[in-house]
Amino acid sequence: MIRPCLAAFAAFFLITSTAGAHDTSGGSASKVTLVYQHELPNVPGKSMKGVLVEYGPGGFSDAHTHPDSAFIYATVLEGSVLSQVNDGPVEEYKAGESFSEYPGDRHGVSKNGSDTKPAKLLAVFVVDTTQTELTYPIKK
């Protein structure tokens, strides 16, 4: 029940929110766009921000972390995404599947699971309203 509702919400979210998109990049053959941001009226000082991550074939994001205040719920919208959080195993998530990242997590692997097809995911952040940077590279 939750996954179909989330998928419908994600589709609605993308259709109604792309007018205010802001593009950034990180990694190879990837595009990251802020598609939505809204202060949470019942949680002072917090906002929800939606980020569309698009990977071309073989595309990836560099290893990164997020703000200490960030809770992230990501849903794959198209294709498949390989993800590794902290020292856990690399997991494959296909369209309609979701995963979470908690404050302080390290995202060591985030990449398209295919070398021939694109992939997309929607990452929904709950984060401090004043937070403008959502991703920080992991220094090697």
Q: How many CB atoms lie within 10 A of CB 39?
A: 11
Q: What is the pLDDT of residue 139?
A: 82
Q: What is the pLDDT of residue 71?
A: 96
For 84-107, the DSSP string reads EETTS--EEEETT-EEEE-TT-EE
| Domains (range + CATH), the chain | 2-137 (2.60.120.10)
Q: What is the pLDDT of residue 138?
A: 87
Which residues does the chain have with pLDDT short of 50?
Answer: 1, 4-25
Q: What is the pLDDT of residue 136?
A: 83
Q: What is the pLDDT of residue 26?
A: 54
Q: What is the pLDDT of residue 5?
A: 42
Which runs of E-coded beta strand occur in the chain? Answer: 22-24, 28-39, 46-61, 64-65, 71-78, 80-85, 91-94, 98-101, 106-112, 119-128, 136-137
Q: What is the pLDDT of residue 15?
A: 36
Integer Cα distance of 72 and 50 in angstroms:
9
Residue from 64, 63, 72 nearest 101 by CA: 72
Q: What is the pLDDT of residue 114?
A: 96
pTM: 0.78
Q: What is the pLDDT of residue 123?
A: 96
Q: Are 54 and 30 a contacting pair, CB within 8 Å?
A: yes
